[in-house]
Structures are given as structure tokens and as C-alpha cells.
Amino acid sequence: MPDSPLTVVLLSGGIDSITLAAATLAAGNLAACVHVIYGAPNGGLEYRCASDWCRAHGVPLHTIEARIPCEMSGDPGDPCVVPGRNLVLLALAASVAASVGASRVALGATQDDQADYLDCRPYFAGAMTAALECAGLNVEYVYPYAGISKGAVVEIARRHGVDLGATFSCYTPNGSDACGQCASCAERSRVLGEVA
């Protein structure tokens, strides 16, 4: 029996979300994962990583298509901010959670994400939980990694046997390869280099 509420993990296919899914599965609390295809250039590659992980671990994956305006702007090294993305993704994941009997939706946002992405901050999770309560849904949003760095998440990944090579973290891929220049690629390279 799980010792905490059943959880749905919002699974992008990147290091943070797959690590969170692996840790939640190991704790016996993972009800399902949700992957949203929203029109980003990396969508197909992220989906492949998410679906491969779920299939390998026998975890139900709910895939939802929801087109969100996703304009890449600024220099290649700038973060890619999709307005209101997590607002939409978390709402969709909450609907899945309610349908499968889970009372939590978990997002793998880390301390490092909070400077550039306002919807990766813990107060946002609290506000979203309050909104769901107003809508009559008994689902809580949690950001378990909000207080730790991406480097710490990599250490958790290794403890749970996550194959980091089977994750994808790039905003503007070249075919099936990471571009090596975007903010996500730069951060991935930095973090993996620090914990090597």
C-alpha cells in the first residue's frame, strides 16, 4: 500500500520529469503519467522518451493534444517561455488525476527553473490547487523538487537507475538530435558535467 496519495506525474520526457516518475513509482504512489503534445518543436522527441519510459515500467500514459502558441524568440541561448503553458498542462493533468482516482499531480520543476518560469514556483502550485478546490476537484499540485537544484535531481535519477541518455532536453532539435545551443541544452550539459 502506498504511504502517501496516489499521484499523476506530468511527464515531458526530460531528466526532471522522468526522475520524478521513477521516484514516485519506487514509492508505490504512481497512478499514471500525462504527456501533453502542445506544438513545440521538440514534441515528437519528448513524447518518444516519455512513452518509452512508461512502456518499460508498465505505467499508464495519458497523451493529450492541446495546441498552445509556441513562438521561439530571442537568442538561441534564451529560455523558451510559452505563455501559460503550465497553467494549461496542469489543468489537463488534474482532469486525468480525478478520472484515475489520484489526488495529486506532480511536476518536476526545480529550484533552477524558478528564475525564468513563474509557473514553476511553489506559490503557483498553491494557487492552482486552490483553483481546483473551487472547481470541486480534490486534487493537489505538488512540486517535489522545487527546493533542490537540477544537479541534485540527477543524483536522484542515478539512485533510481534512470537512463539519462533516454531523456530529451532541447527546445530546438535538429532532426532527432539536440541542437546543443538552446538554454535547455546548455543547462543539461552544465548539470551533467557538474555531477559527472
Question: What is the per-residue pLDDT for 42?
Answer: 64
Question: What is the per-residue pLDDT for 181?
Answer: 81
Question: What is the per-residue pLDDT for 188?
Answer: 87
How far from the centroid of its chain's Cα atoms is residue 89's Cα?
10
Question: What is the per-residue pLDDT for 61?
Answer: 98
Answer left, alpha or beta for residue 43, where phi above 0 means left and psi between -120 and 50 means alpha.
alpha
* Amino acid of residue 154: V
Q: What is the mean pLDDT of the chain?
A: 87
CB 173 within 8 A of CB 179: yes
Q: Could you give all domains of the chain from N- to C-terminal order, each with its CATH number?
A: 7-194 (3.40.50.620)
Strands 7-10 and 104-106: parallel
Q: What is the pLDDT of residues 94-124, one digit of tens each?
A: 999 999 999 999 999 999 888 877 888 888 9
Q: What is the pLDDT of residues 172-186, one digit of tens each?
A: 788 788 888 887 888
**Between vectors from CA 128 to CA 1 and to CA 29, what angle results, nearest 5°?**
15
Q: Which residues in the chain show pLDDT less than 50?
A: 1-2
Question: What predicted TM-score, i.e. pTM, was given to this entire model?
Answer: 0.89
CB 93 within 8 A of CB 21: no
Question: What is the per-residue pLDDT for 72?
Answer: 53
**Around Cβ 103, how many Cβ atoms within 10 Å?**
16
CA distances from 35 to 28, 29, 136 (A): 20, 18, 24
**Between vectors from CA 187 to CA 165 and to CA 195, what angle results, nearest 5°?**
65
